[in-house]
A and B are shown apart, each in its own frame.
Chain A
């Protein structure tokens, strides 16, 4: 069974925001809602890093765990989707999500929240595939067309990857090894350290030199 995942390569992302634009355009996302956004750390300083973030389609999704009306579900492809007909716009999922993925249109009176909106991995929603209703509520269903999310497909530097977790991991692993080889120098441990993905030592403190 496939497990669809996103991965953003911080060494490649150039903060062009084309993924954000592509997403908004493909799904006709309304103003104020950003299913995807680019975050830059240490902006303007030497060595700044950018990553493109959206719903990560968690295997054990916290949004799904806390939803009081149980509107979330996981597709056989491992994509976490929600039913807007069930959603009450309470915002509990926003508090639970570590990535800030759930978005809420604020077009009502007194700042009231509308139905939650988030990245669908271009997989539509619970309505029939390619139906007008599905497009209106969730955007285009590219996965059913045999395509992958547009944000990743059009990424010019191939920083953003989207696909089956095994495929994505294989491709990223090849990159890490290539970078380690390109870094040159001896001994091998030093080369591997230089080629490591950015943030590796933050995630794994025991790997620090």
Chain B
């Protein structure tokens, strides 16, 4: 996913996923980070785009932290380190 800002390198493989078995449709993620999540008509989150641009990594991390059932996963390829915000 190309970044909006060419000076920011997007870490490869920083991907947002929802564990649909865990998800209980609390909707906290879409409340907190509407930039990243929408809700379908049943209240379950739809990830706008799987690849997270570097400038939204902190937001994605906080959204994942706020999920009461820990259903949000931020996966990364080896080498990328979204935790440190790149």
> Is B a genuine binding partner of A?
no
